[in-house]
């Protein structure tokens, strides 16, 4: 009995101890959880404050940058306005001087007339001329005086603005005629001295070029062993063709064309990878998504290696050194880039050869000329991936890899986007034109050809005094028929120059276009 009582007491004590321990543990856990929660809240608040502070700093920095940029732009605009105002003031001052000179000339003419009148009267008195003749001469003299007075009255009735405009038009027309005559004389003199030398240099450069005619298409076609394999390329529910398009980024066109699959895409390197991958898969016969991924990866490595080799070979062919490895890779990418069906890598090598040959004849640095010619279209390696013209992209690339300023200017100026600062820029522009315009270098679409011919004729017809414009010799020459009564030799020369300048601004074409103005008078009579 005592034993059971003791056990009961001990059990009650034990149960009370356990309950007490649980209460203590719960209290400790509640306290720790509360502390941890408060710590997280404080840490989140600190992060929030930090983010707000960083955002405020960024806003302040951007506002300062925008303010500085706006101030710089306002200074530039202010400077341009001041220069324009100065130019206008100078022009008005010159016009006022001309008007004052005209006034003085008129006064001198009037004094001369009065002096002449007195002289004539004196002569008449001395010679004792008959009254009839005297009266006739006096009448004629009075008529001339009245006519001159009327002219003076007309001139005197002009406002300052009208007189200024009249003088300006007269001076401009006279200056145009004088300038046309002088320009024609200078052109004939310069041509007589420079044509032979320029012809010799260009002929020599083209003869040394002696490269193959290059024309390539921009759509890849893969020939298949049989039409049965088209179904395997497509795969169950199209999974194979989707995997291939996703891996290469190129569209596959599978139609009724026997034994062929067309690959379409803007990136020529991706198109080459897709072409190789499809050829490997059709020869191997195992076509499934896993195999496609492995083959495409392998082909990408092959193309990358070929790009590097092509760039190195181009540098060896041209004979230059110290080219940055990244520039070598970009040159190799031009192997898969075309312009008007002309392979760009072959084109830049041609330009380099032409520039080097002419530079030797002119006593310039041959290596510098070749380098500028080889790198002038380097921007075309990335222009389909990045915004901007190939000239601006090429300048950025060349500047990034430490090219000479002459090379940078030659890249920027070979399409006349900026002024040439060295003879090498002029050489590159000439070499680019020679390579692009030689026979067989480029091919055109029929629509482009017709559009250019129409545009040339429309430009000629838009000028005053033109009867008809004819674009001949595949757009290499434009002949302008003008009305003979409204155009003289000097005006025809000015018209030809104006039409040529407008064609340069508005029309895109390889080589050069000859503008010929034809002015003729025909006299017809019938014998009956």
The DSSP annotation for 31-43 comes to HHHHHHHHHHHHH
**E-assigned strand segments in 239-375:** 251-253, 260-264, 338-339, 342-343
340-371 pLDDT, tens digit per residue, is 667 888 888 988 998 988 888 888 898 999 99
Q: In this predicted structure, what is the pLDDT of residue 199?
A: 54
Q: In this predicted structure, what is the pLDDT of residue 90?
A: 84
282-325 pLDDT, tens digit per residue, is 887 788 888 888 888 999 898 889 888 988 998 898 888 888 88
d(CA 344, CA 318): 15
CB 393 within 8 A of CB 379: yes
pTM of the model: 0.47
DSSP code at position 402 = T
14-53 pLDDT, tens digit per residue, is 787 788 888 888 878 888 887 878 888 888 888 888 888 8
Q: Do domains 220-299 and 446-518 have the same CATH topology?
A: no
CB 289 within 8 A of CB 240: yes
CB 186 within 8 A of CB 179: no
497-515 pLDDT, tens digit per residue, is 889 888 888 887 766 788 9
Q: What are the residues whose beta carbons fall under 8 Å from the beta carbon of 439, sequence distance 6 or more? A: 213
Percent of the chain with pLDDT over 90: 2
User: What's domain 446-518's architecture?
Assistant: 2-Layer Sandwich (3.30)
CB 430 within 8 A of CB 354: yes
pLDDT class of 81 with cuts at 50, 70, 90? confident
Kindly report the CATH class assigned to 319-437: mainly alpha
Average pLDDT for residues 482-496, to the nearest whole number? 80
Q: In this predicted structure, what is the pLDDT of residue 187?
A: 65
- Which of 148-162, 224-238, 424-438 has the lowest average pLDDT? 148-162
Percent of the chain with pLDDT over 70: 78
190-208 pLDDT, tens digit per residue, is 666 655 565 555 555 554 4
pLDDT value at 211 more than 50? no
The three-state DSSP-derived secondary structure of 322-362 is CCCHHHHHHHHHHHHCEECCEEHHHHHHHHHHHHHHHHHHH
Kindly report the CATH class assigned to 220-299: alpha beta
> Of 402, 345, 342, which Cα lies nearest the Cα of 376?
345
d(CA 518, CA 481): 5
- Domains in the chain: boundaries: 158-207, 220-299, 319-437, 446-518
d(CA 281, CA 292): 7
> Of 144, 143, 137, which Cα lies nearest the Cα of 120?
137
Q: In this predicted structure, what is the pLDDT of residue 2?
A: 52
The phi and psi torsions of 496 (rounded to 5 degrees) equal -60, -40
pLDDT value at 188 more than 80? no
For 264, how many CA atoms within 13 A lie in the half-sphere containing its CB?
6
pLDDT value at 149 more than 70? no
Burial tier of 475 (Cβ tally within 10 Å: 0-12, 13-18, 19+) = buried
DSSP element (H, E) containing 319: none
């Amino acid at each position: 009995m005592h034993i059971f009582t003791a056990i009961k007491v001990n059990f009650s004590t034990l149960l009370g101890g356990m309950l007490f321990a649980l209460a203590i543990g719960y209290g400790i856990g509640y306290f720790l959880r509360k502390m941890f929660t408060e710590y997280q809240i404080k840490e989140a608040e600190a992060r929030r404050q930090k983010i707000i502070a960083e955002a405020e700093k960024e806003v302040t920095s951007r506002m300062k940058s925008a303010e500085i940029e706006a101030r710089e732009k306002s200074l530039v605009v202010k400077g341009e306005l001041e220069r324009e105002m100065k130019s206008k003031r100078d022009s008005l001052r010159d016009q006022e001087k001309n008007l004052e000179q005209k006034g003085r000339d008129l006064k001198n003419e009037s004094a001369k007339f009065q002096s002449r009148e007195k002289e004539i009267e004196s002569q008449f008195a001395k010679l004792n001329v008959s009254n009839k003749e005297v009266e006739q001469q006096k009448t004629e003299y009075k008529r001339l005086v009245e006519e001159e007075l009327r002219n003076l009255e007309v001139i005197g009735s002009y406002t300052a603005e009208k007189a200024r405009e009249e003088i300006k038009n007269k001076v401009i027309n006279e200056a145009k005629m004088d300038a046309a005559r002088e320009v024609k004389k200078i052109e004939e003199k310069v041509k007589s001295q420079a044509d032979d030398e320029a012809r010799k240099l260009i002929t020599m450069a083209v003869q040394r070029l002696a490269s193959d005619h290059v024309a390539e298409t921009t759509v890849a076609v893969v020939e298949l062993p049989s039409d049965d394999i088209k179904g395997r390329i497509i795969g169950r529910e199209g999974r194979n063709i989707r995997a291939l398009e996703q891996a290469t980024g190129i569209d596959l066109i599978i139609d009724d064309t026997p034994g062929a699959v067309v690959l379409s895409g803007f990136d020529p390197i991706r198109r080459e990878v897709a072409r190789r991958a499809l050829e490997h898969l059709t020869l191997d016969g195992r076509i499934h998504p896993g195999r496609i991924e492995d083959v495409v990866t392998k082909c990408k490595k092959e193309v990358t290696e070929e790009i590097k080799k092509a760039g190195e070979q181009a540098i060896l062919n041209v004979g230059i050194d110290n080219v940055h490895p990244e520039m070598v890779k970009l040159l190799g990418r031009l192997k898969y880039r075309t312009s008007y069906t002309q392979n760009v890598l072959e084109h830049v090598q041609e330009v380099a050869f032409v520039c080097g040959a002419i530079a030797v004849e002119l006593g310039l640095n041959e290596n510098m000329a070749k380098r500028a010619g080889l790198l002038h279209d380097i921007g075309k390696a990335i222009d389909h991936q990045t915004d901007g013209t190939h000239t601006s992209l090429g300048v950025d690339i060349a500047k990034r890899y430490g090219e000479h300023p002459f090379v940078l200017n030659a890249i920027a100026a070979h399409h006349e986007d900026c002024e040439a600062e060295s003879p090498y820029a002029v050489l590159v522009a000439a070499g680019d034109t020679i390579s692009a315009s030689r026979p067989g270098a480029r091919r055109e679409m029929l629509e482009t050809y017709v559009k250019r011919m129409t545009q040339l004729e429309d430009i000629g017809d838009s000028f005053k005094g033109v009867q008809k414009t004819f674009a001949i010799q595949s757009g290499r020459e434009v002949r302008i028929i003008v009305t003979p009564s409204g155009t003289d030799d000097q005006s025809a020369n000015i018209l030809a120059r104006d039409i040529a300048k407008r064609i340069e601004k508005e029309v895109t074409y390889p080589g050069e276009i000859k503008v010929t103005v034809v002015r003729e008078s025909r006299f017809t009579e019938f014998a009956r």
